[in-house]
Structure 1
């Protein structure tokens, strides 16, 4: 749908929404369990349901499963903070729009008694500077509530920038009666606030200024989404060679937890699809895959016993061909930075991660960098006895060996196989560290491509492997 059509649709939908709200507010019995009060206005939760959720939908944002809006998104620092809504780039998870919702009857921004400012934007700028100077709300240019609102948003913007490396493109504080948009939040809250970067709206202005709201907040204006996945020949529609910061190999993983007959204990199956993650300079990630036929993760048997080598070779050949196709389409070699430069997939804490959850359960994207798989054929430490439960002695996990693949325990590689770890201390230490734990909870760290990303050098040296 082109921009003109989207704008016209937004104007129409916004008008309908405001009309619906007017009808809802006119009902004296909106809450059948409360006394009739024609002056009562919705609290914050009602404001979200009645107005903010609908407004975001009309602006091209999708909430819920498979959507591009995180609700109550966590920011972890000295204390955990929760942002009401964060609109993000699909898959990459880079934040695009922060929305803080306030109750319907919360006051519009106004100066403390005796204060005079040329505009509401000027007042907001003065208050932000007051916040940045560490001064109290008792002496703030704005009323206390707005001092707290701006201090709250300043904290979010600062954490996103300093802890997560994100420059937030837009931020908004909204109730049903007013709306304030920060067009350059990082600059406004962390560098130099200026009135021209702040747009202020009252409800009676929403319809007349709908075009401005569209240009500032519509998803299509804040990001250029690409299909997921892209075929190599589609890359040129979205970026040029000079736009590419790096190309990272990786895989798409599907864990089938219902393998086998329903009459018996399910046996997991893991399907691997090679992928290339092409990263633009602004950290937007384009996921490239060219074949919907997976490779099943499993050993094959040769004269020396079980081996994962044929599976790994097949993945590597497809991955190499896929990367070459991307090079051909963009007309030159693609930068190949180390895996640590990968911008990361989204998580509910806004942290960057090399393993990204897809909307469906048991589906992941895994970035592996210059490697084509997250597994190695052989452990880095030879002749380690801790692949076998019985050889672990008192340090063995649980009461018995895992002799069959298990969905409940998330064990794919079983006892005595060289990709399996049966050591309780390693299992305890890796809790909260292991990136592939949702795929397989007992994979030996010495056969995983993420060993150096999960463990510090000191922690690696302290592992019991090979003893």
Structure 2
């Protein structure tokens, strides 16, 4: 749907919403269990139900299961904070829009007695600086409630930046009677605040300013969703070469956990599809996947009669290279491949960066591997480590026996004595909560994983028993 159509639908929806709100406010018996009060105005919960929820819907944001809005989103800092609404790239993904809802009758921003400012935006700038200077609310240039509001939003913006690495594109404080939009909240609350970066609207202005509100807050203005996966030929619909921050190789992983026959125990099968993740400069991720026949992860016998991943890895690398070249051809130039550490991250419940992203279906993942074409190496970094074998781990062996067959229950794809298997309990204990590929395989040796340097600090790596 093009922008003109979206704008027209928003104007129509906003008009209908405001009309319905006026009708609801005119009823003296909105609460059937209380004495009729024609002057009563909705409290915060009612304001959210009557107005904010509906407005977000008209602005292209979807609440609920499978939506793109988190409600009461938790931020873990020195204290736990809860944000009313956060519009995200995908559910639990990168934050795009912070919404703080206030009760209907909460006062519009105003100066304390004796204060004079050219505009409400100028007053808000002064009040934000007062907050950043650590001064108390009783000396704020704005009334006390607005000092609290601004301090609250400042805390959210700062935590998102410092704890999670997110530059919030947009924020707003809203009641039914007024709306304040921060066009560049990171700069306004953490950098240099200027009045031009703050838009202020009263309810009677909403209709006349619908175009501006749409431009600032509609989901299509803050991100451009792309289907997963894209074909290389679809890339130009979403991104131009000048807007590309980088491209990262990766894979799509499908873990098949069902047995071919109900008469036998299930054995895991892992299928790999090469992928390229093209990153726009605003950190939006476009996922391009080679949807040709998947390549099953497995050893082959080498010339010496041993087991090797060489053939599998070479096949994935060749197809990954071809896919990256196809993407570059479609956007009209070479795609930069920055270090994996700069990857913006897939959505996660913690709003933190992760190289392994869940898809909607169970046992499906996207894995960003940077300039590598696979998350596995051909050989361990540590040669001749005996801890691939359970019996050689001695008292530090995992469990009561070796993993002799591939197991769905244990998530053990590689088995005892194989070079990609780890049987050491100390490593297993230390990787708990740290290993990015644990949902795919819980016993993979860390020394064959491309994420080794991202999971372990130098001191932690030096402390591993590998090869000792």
Shared fold per TM-score greater than 0.5: yes
Structure 1, residues 375-413: CA drift from partner, whole Å, max 9, x if none? 112222223222233332221223333344343433322
Separation (CA, whole Å) in 2 of partners of 1:86 and 1:441:
33
- Over 3 Å counting, the alpha-carbon distance change for 1:400 and 1:31 in structure 2 is farther
Answering whether residue 159 of structure 2 is matched by residue 153 of structure 1, we say: no
1:415 equivalent in structure 2 = 416
Partner of residue 7, structure 1: 7
Deviation for aligned residue 1:255 = 2.6
SS at match of 2:51: helix
Q: Deviations over 1:313-356 (max 9, x none)?
A: 22111101111212322333322222222222232332222112
TM-score between both structures, scaled by the size of structure 2: 0.90
Q: What is the alpha-carbon distance in structure 1 between the residues aligned to residue 466 and residue 196 of structure 2?
A: 60
CA–CA separation in structure 2 for the residues paired with 1:12 and 1:93: 30
Structure 1 residues 118 and 240: alpha-carbon distance in aligned structure 2, compared to 1, 3 A threshold: closer
User: Does the 8 A contact of 1:259 with 1:269 survive in 2?
Assistant: no
Aligned residues between the structures: 466
CA deviation string 1:191-212 (max 9, x = no partner): 2322232222233332332222
CA distance in 2, matches of 1:27, 1:19: 13
SS in 2 for 1:72: strand
Distance 1:40 1:408, change over 3 A: farther
Contact between 2:273 and 2:290, CA under 8 Å: does it hold in 1?
A: no
Aligned counterparts of 2:394 and 2:105: Cα–Cα separation in 1: 66
Quote the offset at 1:2 in angstroms: 1.7
1:394-413 correspondence runs (5 A): 394-413=395-414
CA drift at 1:8: 1.0
CA offsets per residue over residues 270-329 of structure 1, 9 Å max, x none? 222111112233333222223253222233345624332222222111101111212322
For residue 16 of structure 2, give the secondary structure of its aligned residue in structure 1: helix
Task: Look up the match of 2:245.
Answer: 245
Q: Which residue of 2 aligns with 1:60?
A: 60
Give unmatched runs, 5+ long, in structure 1. none
Deviates further, 110-119 or 167-176: 110-119
Q: Which digits, 9 at most, give the CA deviation of each residue in 1:112-135, with x for residues without a partner? A: 344343432232122111101110
- Runs of 4+, deviation exceeding 6 Å: none
Distance of 2:143 and 2:325 partners within structure 1: 60
Equivalent residue, structure 1, for 2:336:
335
Task: Decide whether aligned partners of structure 1 residues 47 and 425 sit closer, same or farther in structure 2, where only a CA change above 3 A counts.
Answer: farther
Partner residue of 2:99?
99
- Distance in 2 of aligned mates of 1:401 and 1:454: 26
Q: Which moved further from structure 2: 126-135 or 348-357? A: 348-357
Match of 1:371 in 2: 372
Moved more, 403-412 or 50-59: 403-412
Q: CA deviation at 1:459?
A: 0.9
* Native 8 Å contact 2:71 2:86 kept in 1: yes
Deviates more, 1:122-131 or 1:47-56: 47-56
Which SS does the other structure have where 2:373 is aligned?
A: coil
Deviates more, 1:72-81 or 1:370-379: 72-81
Q: Which residue of 1 aligns with 2:433?
A: 432
Closer, same or farther in 2 for the Cα pair 1:410/1:235, shift >3 Å? Answer: same
Structure 2: where are the runs of 5+ without partners? none
Q: Distance in 2 between matches of 1:42 and 1:437?
A: 48
Q: CA separation of 1:408/1:401 partners in 2, compared to 1, >3 Å: closer, same or farther?
A: same
Check 1:269–1:342 CA distance in 2 against 1; reply closer, same or farther (3 A cut): same
d(CA) in 2 for partners of 1:409, 1:109: 58
CA distance in 2, matches of 1:433, 1:419: 18
